[in-house]
């Protein structure tokens, strides 16, 4: 079965809980203040301030737990309900329209700190355009990408940012896995190089984060532990990696040198446009003991 191409970022979508816990899709309704002046879209990160939901800007994680940019992050927005001030009828909406004068508005929030989210990888900060993740990123921390969503669909355009991934403890999300169903692969012929590879003309663009591997003589795929660190356009013959390829089965604690890719090998470039992430420990309001920076 062919899966559709992921056209753009779409926010955070809850899909499961970590650790094999039973996932019921449970949500909590948290009030939205009368006239709150910012659109909140389905899949946006939200926080809580003075008991009311706010839209959070969670990119590098700075301020996310202190009532600043993150306003005490509590989860992901999944729609809302309120009495329409014009029609006086109850309305169930995919997004919160900024400055709505409703005094009974409630946000539907998935607030379990152990929730696992499916999310698209953004090419650059605040972009709808898709980037890529790689196998070597599993278990690392990653930055968020923030962008206002669509009032036409009601959906978020938030995502995660593959160009800012690593062991930085302040990054807000942990990559738990890749979504392999929507992966895209293509090949080129290897000529030479370790940290920068010389290859035959690329058949397609290489996005930052594209995984790099090659085919062994027995036809098996060999992952190099590296990924593309600089965008390379179709037709070019140079591919810059984040690091030289790792040694296969290098013992723990020993020095690792670059593996040797056999001459004329078929290189395999795999793009993973979606990943599974969870909130990092200490970011979620329920998993930290930092009081919100508000004066009551």
Same domain, 54 and 189: no
Same domain, 105 and 228: no
Name the residue range of residue 215's domain.
184-271
The pLDDT of residue 247 is above 80: no
Percent of the chain with pLDDT over 90: 74
- pLDDT for residue 66: 45
Six token digits for residue 198: 């010389």
Same domain, 11 and 117: yes
Same domain, 277 and 260: no
Same domain, 24 and 171: yes
Q: What is the mean pLDDT of residues 186-203?
A: 95
The gap from C-alpha 108 to its chain's centroid, in whole angstroms, comes to 21
Number of folded domains in the chain?
2
Six token digits for residue 213: 């591997």
Percent of the chain with pLDDT over 70: 90
Same domain, 188 and 175: no
Reduce the DSSP state of residue 185 to 3 states and report it: strand
The residue among 236 and 295 whose pLDDT is bigger is: 236
pLDDT tens figures, 273-292? 999 999 988 788 888 776 65
The pLDDT of residue 96 is above 60: yes
Same domain, 179 and 202: no
- pLDDT for residue 191: 96
Distance between CA 237 and CA 52 in Å, rounded? 53
In which band, very low, low, confident or very high, does the pLDDT at 169 lie, cut at 50, 70 and 90? Answer: confident
Same domain, 154 and 294: yes
Same domain, 189 and 179: no
Same domain, 70 and 117: yes
Same domain, 29 and 114: yes
- Three-state SS letters, 47-65: EEECCEEEECCCCCCCCCC
**Residue 198: its H or E element:** strand 196-199
* Alpha helices by DSSP H, the chain: none
Q: Are 135 and 59 in contact (CB under 8 A)?
A: no
Distance between CA 25 and CA 31 in Å, rounded? 19
Same domain, 196 and 259: yes
pLDDT tens figures, 2-54? 567 899 999 999 999 998 888 999 999 999 999 999 999 999 999 988 889 99
- pLDDT for residue 251: 67
26 phi-psi bin (left φ>0, alpha ψ -120 to 50, beta other): beta
């Amino acid at each position: 079965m062919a899966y559709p191409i992921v056209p753009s970022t779409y926010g955070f979508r809850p899909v499961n809980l970590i650790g094999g816990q039973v996932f019921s899709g449970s949500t909590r309704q948290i009030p939205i203040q009368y006239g709150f002046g910012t659109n909140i879209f389905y899949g946006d990160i939200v926080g809580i301030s003075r008991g009311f939901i706010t839209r959070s800007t969670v990119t590098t994680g700075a301020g996310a737990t202190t009532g600043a940019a993150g306003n005490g992050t509590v989860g992901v927005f999944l729609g809302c309900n309120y009495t329409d001030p014009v029609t006086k009828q109850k309305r169930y909406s995919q997004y919160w329209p900024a400055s709505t004068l409703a005094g009974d508005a409630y946000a539907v929030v998935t607030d379990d700190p152990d929730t696992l989210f499916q999310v698209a990888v953004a090419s650059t900060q605040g972009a709808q355009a898709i980037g890529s993740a790689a196998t070597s990123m599993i278990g690392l921390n990653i930055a968020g990408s923030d962008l206002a969503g669509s009032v036409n669909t009601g959906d978020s355009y938030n995502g995660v940012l593959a160009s800012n991934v690593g062991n930085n403890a302040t990054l807000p999300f942990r990559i738990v896995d890749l979504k392999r169903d929507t992966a895209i692969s293509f090949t080129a012929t290897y000529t030479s190089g370790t940290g920068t590879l010389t290859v035959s003309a690329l058949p397609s663009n290489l996005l930052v984060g594209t995984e790099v591997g090659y085919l062994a003589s027995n036809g098996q795929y060999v992952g190099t532990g590296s990924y593309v660190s600089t965008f390379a356009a179709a037709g070019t013959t140079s591919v810059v990696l984040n690091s030289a390829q790792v040694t296969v089965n290098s013992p723990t604690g020993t020095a690792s040198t670059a593996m040797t890719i056999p001459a004329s090998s078929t290189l395999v470039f795999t793009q993973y446009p979606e990943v599974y992430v969870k909130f990092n420990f200490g970011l979620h309001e329920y998993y930290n003991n930092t009081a919100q920076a508000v004066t009551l």
